Every structure is written in structure tokens, then in C-alpha cells.
Amino acid sequence: MGCIGCTVGTSNGSPKGCGSKGNCSTGGCNRLNTYDWLSSMDIVDTDPFDVVEVSFKNGARKGFYRLREHLRTGTGDMVVVETGNGFDIGTICLSGELVRLQLKKKKTEEPDVAHEVVRRANERDLERLEEARSQEMATMVRARVIARTLGLEMKIGDVEYQGDKRKATFYYTADGRVDFRELIRHYAKEFRVKIEMRQIGARQESARIGGIGSCGRELCCSTWLTDFKSVSTAAARYQNLAINQSKLSGQCGRLKCCLNYELDTYLDALESFPENADKLETKYGKAVLIKTDIFKQIMYYAVSQENGRNKVYILNLERVNEILEMNQRGEKPETLEGLGLFSGENELEEVDFEDGTGDIELPMEKRRRRKKKKKPRKNPSSSQQSGAKKEDSGDKNNRSNSKNAPANNSKKGQNAPTQKGNKSKNRRFRRKKK
């Protein structure tokens, strides 16, 4: 199990951790790592096993490879391995006799291991691997953009380059089948490498990415959990958990795998509880089951009373079985008091209320008055200047009126004699007609 810095934080494609210096709980920084306790012991194996387990990209992917003759390697060495289309670089995470057990766990036969370990990785190989890891984030962002432009309902979750940068594997999630033939053409044209598409589930995606769960620890799927069993809401009901989707779902959006961890223990404890014990018949009414403590093996029943309040009684399983047998015979117990685990301390205390009018006076709420905004005062200097401007404008108007006045008078004087001449002409014309 790696530390948080290894699985979550990376710098230039390499993990930000102790550097596999043995400070982790399992002695390495790989995710889903198997502790190789034989490698730390000074024991010489006379008949060494020639198959090793190699992890790639900080434990995100693992595979079995066969060692060549006269090649001395050990756990933690960086090696170059052959693949179907090139070479890849990884870390030996398990070697020796423990690989036999790992083969049985993975249900893989020894003759099925076809690829070999070529040699140890040199500085040039490690530089090319670092270059490939540094390009993966930019490639994933560009790949998402291309998939979105083509209108495909899929999500690119992770990209992994091969050590020789000849091949790129795109891990994606989708609800159904996706026709990505056109998408592969665009990817091959854009990235100039061989493209491989692999569809994974939501849990496998969160296992590859990693993260921190609600418990404060690393995700189980990215540290030690490899087989994903189906989880249903019935597991939460058996454990008396509230059906809250936000609290029961993990970072993958599915129900948490940890709901199955203690499910068998709860099922074994529930076998001793009676069936159809939700209601018990008494002479005072029905007792309704409100709570069950599975590990203490006690049951809480509420009985309604005349005042509308309920009394809660605590009964053990033996007493509940006795009452159920009485109800089957048609008998009803008189009361539940003093039976089973009931005591006066377990009864809910009744709270009385007193009339406190006149004894307690609440202070009157004071209404806050809104403050009026004060108008800004005018400066006296500005008012004097405005008055002076008005006087100047008034003088100008008077001057213009005085200039126009004689001109108007002169016009009137010119028109006056012409009007008198016209009147005299009209009089003469009338006299001639007469």
C-alpha cells in the first residue's frame, strides 16, 4: 500500500513520495502492491523461479514476464520488457516463489507467460519514459476535446503511453457501446502513434486515478482491493443505515465497496432475531418496533397512551419471543413494564409545562429608524460665482435688447409715411367716383 503522496500527487509523471525507500507500510510506493517479504531475507534460492511480476505507471497495470538466462534482477529494479508492438519499461514488484502464488490468484498458468524481460533499463530508457509520462495529461485533454466535437457519449479517464512512445492506450467509460472508428482516425492523425481503446467501469477508473475516501484513508480500490463485488442497498438496510445516496456512494458514483465488509457479521447476528416482530399486541394497545440494536440483541418498542405520548420499552429477544407466542394463542400481556430489560430509567421522562404569563416579560423590540441621507451643502464660493455669472448674462441680454430697439424704431418710422400716403390716395379715388 503506497502513501498518499505517491498515489495522488505526481510531478512530471513520477510520484511525489519517499521514492520507494522502504518507508511505506509494504516497502514500496506502487499501488496494489504485494509485499515481497522473501526479498528482505538473506536466503539464497537454489532453484529460482524464472517468472517475475512487473508493474507499470506506479502500479496502475501489472503483468507477468519471463526472465532470460544469465539476467540478474531483483525486486525494485527498472527493466525493459517486450510487448506485442515494441518495448515497455516497468518495475519488478514481485519475484521468487511468491510469484507462483500470485499466478494462482490471478488464475494464470505458467506456460501462458509468453513475453520476456529484455534487460535492465539505462538512463536513456528512463528519460524516454519520463517524456512519455509528461505528455499523457496534455494528450488526455486533447482527446476529450476531440471526442466531444464528434458528439460521442464517452469519457476519457486516463491515457498511458508505452515506454518507447510508439503506442498510446486510452481508457474510457461509457454507459453503452460506442462506435469510435472515426475517433481512432482522428487520434492517429493527431498524436501519430498506434491507438488502443479500452473500456473500463467507474470503479476501475477511480482505482487508476486514486484519491481519498470519506474515511480519510486512500481508496481501497487503488491500494489493495482487486475484485469488485456488486453492492446493493439491501446491505445498508441490514446494517440499519439511512438510505442517503450522497453518503453511501463513493468517488466513483457507485455504492461504497466497504458496505460489504461487515455484511456477513450482521447477517449472522440477525439470524437469532424473530420474524414478524414489528408489532406486539397488548391490553393497552399495540407496541410498535422503532429500533433494533443488533449486537446487543435488544429491541425498542413504543406504546401509545391516552395523552398522545409514547412510552418506549426495551425488551430482549427472549421476552419478545414469549409475547409472540402469547399473541399466537390469542393472549395479550397486561403491560410491558418490568419485563425483559425494561427499567424505570429507560422510560421517557414526561416534561410538564407551566403557564408563565405575567411572570416573564419580553422586552419590546425597538424599530430601527432609517437615517435620512444628508444633502451635500453648496460651497459659498460656488454660489457667488454662479450669481456673478447670472449678472453677466443679464447685462449681455440688456445690451442686445438696447441694440435691437433703435433698429426696430427706425423700421417703424420708415413704414409710417408710406401708410399715410396710401390713405390719401384712397380718399382721392373715392371723391372722383362720386
Q: What is the mean pLDDT of the chain?
A: 78
Q: How many helical (H) and strand (E) elements, i.e. helices and strands, does the chain have? A: 10, 14
Return d(Cα 327, Cα 337) in angstroms, integer. 17
Residue 96: count other Cβ atoms within 10 Å of its Cβ.
Answer: 18
Return d(Cα 10, Cα 257) in angstroms, integer. 26
Lowest mean pLDDT among 146-155, 247-256, 268-277, 278-287: 278-287
Predicted pLDDT of residue 344: 44
Residue indicated by cell numbers 447685462: 395
Whether the CB-CB separation of 235 and 257 falls below 8 Å is answered with no
pLDDT confidence bin for 184, thresholds 50/70/90: very high
Give Cβ neighbours of residue 193 (< 8 Å, ≥ 6 apart): 161, 165, 166, 167, 168
Could you tell me where the DSSP H helices lie in 243-379? Answer: 245-248, 263-270, 317-328
367-412 pLDDT, tens digit each: 666 766 666 666 655 555 555 555 555 555 555 554 444 444 444 4
Return d(Cα 139, Cα 252) in angstroms, integer. 23
Give Cβ neighbours of residue 397 (< 8 Å, ≥ 6 apart): none
Give Cβ neighbours of residue 130 (< 8 Å, ≥ 6 apart): 12, 13, 14
122-165 pLDDT, tens digit each: 999 999 999 999 999 999 999 999 999 999 999 999 999 999 89
For residue 75, how many C-alpha atoms fall within 13 Å in the half-sphere facing its CB? 24
In the numeric block, which cell numbers belong to residue 346?
429507560
pTM over 0.75: no
pLDDT > 90 fraction of the chain, expressed in percent and rounded: 28
Return d(Cα 10, Cα 142) in angstroms, integer. 20
Whether the CB-CB separation of 298 and 319 falls below 8 Å is answered with no
Return d(Cα 261, Cα 280) in angstroms, integer. 33
Predicted pLDDT of residue 26: 44
Edge to edge, the sheet with strand 155-161 lists 155-161, 167-173, 194-199
Whether the CB-CB separation of 59 and 31 falls below 8 Å is answered with yes
Look at residue 271 and give its three-state secondary structure.
coil
E strands along 150-307, which residues? Answer: 155-161, 167-173, 194-199, 279-282, 285-293, 298-304
